[in-house]
Amino acid sequence: MSDLYTIERPFNKRYRFVTVEDVQKFINNGYYVVLKCEIEISKPKYPYRESEVREYHWRGSPPKKLEFPIKSKEELVYPTGRFTTWLRTKELAEALSDNCIIKCHDVLVSKPAPNHRKIWRKLTKELFEKYGNICMRCGDVISPLQVDHIEPWSQNPSLRYDINNLQILCIHCHKWKTRQKKSLDFRGVLVNGNESDCNKLAKGLRDE
């Protein structure tokens, strides 16, 4: 892995010639990662993101033209087969689990806060103590539960550790919300709801 140079926020570093193992280490250590990679899949699961070339200036050095994920507001497409795309941290974690990454290219890395794990454990504990062990979207109390950022912190880093931007979702609803590519707040959805209501939500909403 070659440290190319520091880049402007929200990413702190750009690396070239990374391996799958390097990417896994970044994720395990709590970094936010965006990787340009070649993947191969048989079912539509991961989005296709094009590259765009931008001119980058660094501390008086001559400008360099570099590839970045294209900034597009259009709906993403989810192709199958073998293709090159940019994947974000959560997508990368799944792709690594699916073992579908064929080749890694450049990776953009954002450093976590020095006490990230301590802060995150504290927030997670407070959140579950406040709302209980239940998915705030469908009422599931059996599936694994995850803490979700209502507004993605990658778009607003100041909200990463704001408990008012966090909610509890089961793994299924978390994946569903991630695919929507927008902020969705489910706090209060199950207020005054009973077990029957929760079951209806679980059946009717989770797989939308």
Provide the domain count of the chain: 2
Same domain? 90 vs 127? no
Cα three-residue angle 200-201-204, rounded to 5 degrees: 80
Which segment of 57-71, 88-102, 106-120, 144-158 scores lowest on mean pLDDT?
57-71
Q: Provide the whole-model pTM.
A: 0.53
**Residue 114 has what DSSP assignment?**
T
> CA–CA separation, 140 vs 69, rounded Å?
35
pLDDT of 207 over the 90 cut: no
Assign 2 to helix, strand or coil.
Answer: strand
Give me the percent of the chain exceeding a pLDDT of 70: 79
Same domain? 121 vs 94? no
**Residue 79 has what DSSP assignment?**
-
Name 16's Cβ contacts closer than 8 Å, sequence gap at least 6. 1, 2, 4, 105, 106
Per-residue pLDDT tens digits for 23-75? 998 888 878 899 999 999 999 999 999 988 887 766 566 777 888 888 766 77
Same domain? 93 vs 145? no
State which residues form the domain around 106. Answer: 2-110
| Domain endpoint, select from 63, 84, 110 | 110
Same domain? 103 vs 189? no
Same domain? 130 vs 144? yes
Supply the pLDDT for residue 113: 67
Residue 37: name the closest of 29, 28, 27, 46 by CA: 46
| Domain endpoint, select from 110, 135, 164 | 110
Same domain? 106 vs 120? no
> CA–CA separation, 86 vs 55, rounded Å?
19
> CA–CA separation, 14 vs 109, rounded Å?
6
Same domain? 69 vs 27? yes
Residue 152 banded pLDDT, cuts 50, 70, 90: confident
| Domain endpoint, select from 110, 144, 165 | 110
Amino acid letter for position 3: D
DSSP string of 136-185, one letter each residue: TTT--SSS-EEEEESS-TTT-GGGTT-GGGEEEEEHHHHHHHHHHTS---
Residue 206 banded pLDDT, cuts 50, 70, 90: very low
- The mean per-residue pLDDT over the stretch 111-127 comes to 84
Same domain? 124 vs 195? yes
Is 167 exposed, middle or buried, given 0-12, 13-18 or 19+ CB atoms closer than 10 A?
A: buried
Task: Return the H-helix or E-strand segment holding 202.
Answer: helix 195-205
Same domain? 120 vs 86? no
Same domain? 131 vs 91? no
